[in-house]
Amino acid sequence: MGKRLEQVKVAVIGLGYVGLPLAVAFSHHYHTIGFDINLQRIDELRVGCDETLEVSEQELDDAKNLIFSSNVKDLDEANVYIVTVPTPITSFNQPDLTPLIKASESIAKTLSIGDVVIYESTVYPGATEEVCIPVLERYSNLTFNRDFFAGYSPERINPGDKEHRVCDILKVTSGSTPDIADFVDALYAKVITAGTHKASSIKVAEAAKVIENTQRDLNIALVNELAIIFNKLDIDTEEVLKAAGTKWNFLPFRPGLVGGHCIGVDPYYLTHKAQAIGYLPQVILAGRRINDNMGKYVVTRLIKAMIRKKLQVVDAKILILGLTFKENCPDLRNTKVVDMTKALAEYDVEVDVYDPGASKELAYEEYQIELIDMPCVDSYDAVILAVAHHEFIELGVERVRSFLKPDGILYDLKYLFPASDVDLRL
């Protein structure tokens, strides 16, 4: 395996939040090809621009062994392929493996004897061997575990997190044979300074990934449900959580909208597989129902508050601060802020959305939302603080309240400001 490791040439397929930082990391040790079908993305990376803000211009400039390409023929020189494409869900909450299958087809056409294909995309247990491997065999005319091999090393990227970056997060690895498992583990150990954990099989590694975010989803669902209960009891949820948090083993989860490419998606991959083998998950799906309905709950509570204050609802102007799925990150994937805009539209209100960190072009392309520039003062009947961007914290509560009309309502979903300074909190 030592000789094989020295001969490695890496191709990373998919240069989003996961693939680009990984490609940069591998390029410090190996010749690396960063491949993506998005031509605009490739052009931007070639001039040192990463719209995800995960990799700086300097880091891209320092990656001397990294080339960017959208030409499948350029993959011919690689012998290790790492797949980091998205694995979304459909409108019916079913896994959409199309990007994974397409990536496997492309790799298969350039696959050679002895090559290794490693998947990082989140899937249900068994997907690599049941879905991806047959595609590789069909289009390459090679035999799995004789002519080529596979591994699975689940991504653990946290978009926008500058403290926990790819090399600083312990990596789970696995391989299709014991020797390949050793090879995959050694390969990642070259770039992951935090260390590796070699799982006993690909299925174990797949399952470990999918339950990481399922666990977080359920914990957030619990505090979301608690928030709903405490709101009905007229108890401040944050005060309750602070009090309970004085116990050493109380987990510090907070209520909120659960979007993004992982937490709001991954549980559906596990429940899909569970149902396929004849088991109907109850706890996991209950958590998903709670979290998927939080946007509508926020809007319903706001409308009731407006009615109590005798504010006209129809034709009211409402401002939402934040569109991305999390703070200090431009990622718009699966943002649940959109659920609020849709729910508000049912009341015939006028909604403005302001997010200085989000792309206006992507916001319109993905959600038909036209982001505004800095809001005007005395303009809104309600302001919803939806995302805890540092820009909003720096504005301060007085500036945020200045956007409101005299009797307007400030609804703070993120506990950015003291309870005494806002009208509603989650």
The C-alpha atoms of residue 315 and residue 37 are separated, in whole angstroms, by 43
Read off the tokens for 247.
């116990």
CA 397, distance to chain mean position in Å, is 29
Would you call 262 a catalytic residue per the annotation? Answer: yes
> Exposed, middle or buried by CB within 10 Å (0-12, 13-18, 19+), for 225?
middle
Residue 187 near residue 2, CB atoms below 8 Å: no
Residue 265 DSSP label: T
Dihedral sign from CA coordinates of 226, 231, 233, 236: positive
Write the CB contacts of 62 (distance below 8 Å, at least 6 apart in sequence). none
What three-state secondary structure class fits 407? strand
Write a three-state SS string for 117-175: EEECCCCCCCHHHHHHHHHHHHHHCCCECCCEEEEECCCCCCCCCCCCCHHHCCEEECE
Strand partners, 173: 198
The C-alpha atoms of residue 188 and residue 151 are separated, in whole angstroms, by 11
Write the CB contacts of 132 (distance below 8 Å, at least 6 apart in sequence). 83, 100, 101, 104, 117, 119, 150
From 49, 132, 167, 262, active-site residue? 262
Residue 64 near residue 27, CB atoms below 8 Å: yes
Write the CB contacts of 388 (distance below 8 Å, at least 6 apart in sequence). 322, 327, 328, 414, 416
What is the full DSSP assignment across 364-385? HHHH-----SSPPTT-EEEEEE
Helix or strand holding residue 214 (H, E): helix 202-232
Give me the active site residues, please.
Answer: 262
